[in-house]
Amino acid sequence: MVRDFSLPEQPIIVSSEEDIGRLALDVSPITGRDLTDATLSRLSSFQSLSCLDLAMCERLSDSGFAALQSLRALRTLNLAGCEQITDSTLKYLSQIQSLEELDLSLCNQITNEGVVALSALPFLRSLDSCLLLR
């Protein structure tokens, strides 16, 4: 039985839902490319998660992001290239008051209306967004 170990400074790559079950509750950041909306639901139990890199996770949609509203320690979220998300996702994300950094580049379905919803985030200091908002 392993009693003491240290994690590397590099992100832990999560490539499937099975990998989530192997993580400790306070491990962050988490990255992954093949995650689904069901995976986001499972991630919602990681209350101390502070950094989540979901860049290029093309299988994620608006409905999956509703589960992330409970991540009260989340400070950094990378959604670059998550092509299925829309303004609805941003409405969910506007409930995560701890969010400081958000990357929405290459999220082409997001409009100005969705970005306005992010004004509810008091600590948001970095927003990378689509070049051509509608």
Number of structural domains found in the chain:
1
Nearest partner of 124 among 105, 97, 100, 104, judged by Cα: 100
In a domain, 98, yes or no: yes
74 and 68 Cβ atoms separated by less than 8 Å = yes
Q: What is the CATH number of the domain that holds 81?
A: 3.80.10.10
In a domain, 8, yes or no: no
pLDDT of residue 25: 43
In a domain, 58, yes or no: yes
pLDDT of residue 124: 96
3-state secondary structure of 76: strand
In a domain, 113, yes or no: yes
In a domain, 85, yes or no: yes
Question: Which residues, 6+ apart, have CB-to-CB distance to 36 below 8 Å?
Answer: 17, 59, 60, 64
In a domain, 50, yes or no: yes
In a domain, 112, yes or no: yes
Q: Which domain holds residue 61?
A: 25-128
In a domain, 76, yes or no: yes
pLDDT 10s per residue in the chain (134 long)? 333 333 445 555 665 555 555 554 444 455 566 788 988 888 888 888 899 889 888 889 999 999 999 999 999 999 999 989 999 999 999 999 999 999 999 999 999 999 999 999 999 999 998 655 55
